[in-house]
Amino acid sequence: MTSRRFLILSAGMGSGHDTVARELAARLEAAGHQAILADVLELLPARLGGGLRAAYRRVIERMPVLYAGIYRVFFRAGGGLRPGSAPLAALAERRLLELTERHEADVVVSVFHLAAQVAGRLRARGTLAVPSAVVMTEFEAHRQWLHPGNDLYLCHTEEIAAEISKETGCQAAGNGPLVDARFGECMPAALSARADRWRRDLSPEGRPLVLLSTGAWGIGSSLARTARLLDRAGYAPAVLCGENKRLHRRLSALPEVRVLSWVEDMPALLRAASALIDNAAGQTAMEALAAGLPVVGYRPIPGHGADGVRIMARLGLSSFARDEEELLSSLWALARPGTTRERRIAAGRAMFRSGAISPLISLGIREPTTKGMGQPR
């Protein structure tokens, strides 16, 4: 197949979208194509993108109830007149067209919902002459991801793909999450040795190691309380604080909590653990599933995090604990060897497909579409 240029639009909202974008670029390049990475927030004028990033982080950290309200109004489906991201998307259209022309891109690929709106609007009007694909990074296909002008959606599961196809009329496929192959590989000696070191360092007494994920920004609620609960129940709790130095300092004062900053060797750490407690259904949860580590959703962040955690559990990929009793019950079943653990591991690994990006590579160039009205549903 002739080498093609893929313009991949991500957004620096935490690290999940960028991680998927880099993995997608690596797979495209391994297949003989070219990949250009760009941040859709940088296409907005007057440093608006940086302001949006800072505002989102501040709200999600300090005013989660406010973000839950914003999510209900702007993101979730609903009847009647609903505000959307169309005005914001319009501000990035000219620069996206310029970027596409400058790099002579053959396909535009969005891995962030605002980018999906920008490209979908342009494609619907016939202004963007090359195909527009969307790689979903969430389980919840909320309305800001969806635009009928896009040519293709790649999703975590077939169920999500069917929902999107019904809602938008677009082609959609359940290709599985895009995760670095190191997470899913068999346990070579070097990886096993590194996992053993993590286990000895974090649980020298031999307790089952349980990781608490807070994302790149280190966002979570009642982390100290949860860690104490796990410690009393016989587990070795370790909180992944990401780049949040303040959270790291605060939790480091607690003797029963193991505290980690940004971790480079996540494949080995995940293999060392017995379970992951997750609050967002994001990339760390996907990496855990690929590594064969059971996931329990607990105290999810508002909005897409809460919806994603519940959808993962509904699909049988994780458990969702609504309170401390359910958390301990889930860990009792999943953090120790047994049929429940093995079935959950098998369900998670079944999500990952060989040839996950094949539909994207084979996406043909067609005439610009006129379907859609340029607004999210």
> Domain locations in the chain?
5-179+354-361, 181-349
d(CA 349, CA 54): 35
d(CA 303, CA 52): 17
Per-residue pLDDT, 67? 87
Mean pLDDT of 227-232: 97
CATH of 181-349, one of 3.10.690.10, 3.40.47.10, 3.40.50.2000, 3.40.50.620: 3.40.50.2000
Per-residue pLDDT, 78? 65
DSSP state of 367: P
pTM: 0.92
- Residue 213 CA, chain-centre distance (Å), reads 13
> Do 5-179+354-361 and 181-349 show the same overall fold?
yes
Per-residue pLDDT, 1? 59
CB 178 within 8 A of CB 356: yes
Is residue 364's pLDDT more than 70?
no
Is residue 366's pLDDT more than 70?
no
Per-residue pLDDT, 74? 82
Q: Who contacts 56 (Cβ-Cβ below 8 Å, separation ≥6)?
A: 13, 67
Mean pLDDT of 57-83: 80
Cite the beta strand spans of the chain per DSSP E. 5-10, 34-39, 107-110, 132-135, 152-155, 171-174, 209-213, 236-240, 258-260, 275-278, 295-298, 319-321
Mean pLDDT of 66-85: 75
Q: Return the SS3 of 126.
A: coil
Q: Which residues partner with 109 through β-bridges?
A: 8, 133
* pLDDT band for position 372 (cuts 50, 70, 90): very low
Mean pLDDT of 87-110: 95
Task: Give the number of other Cβ atoms within 10 Å of residue 162's Cβ.
Answer: 13
Q: Which of 31-35, 278-282, 354-358 has the lowest mean pLDDT?
A: 354-358
Is residue 38's pLDDT more than 70?
yes
Fold of the CATH domain 5-179+354-361: Rossmann fold (3.40.50)
d(CA 246, CA 271): 27
DSSP state of 84: -
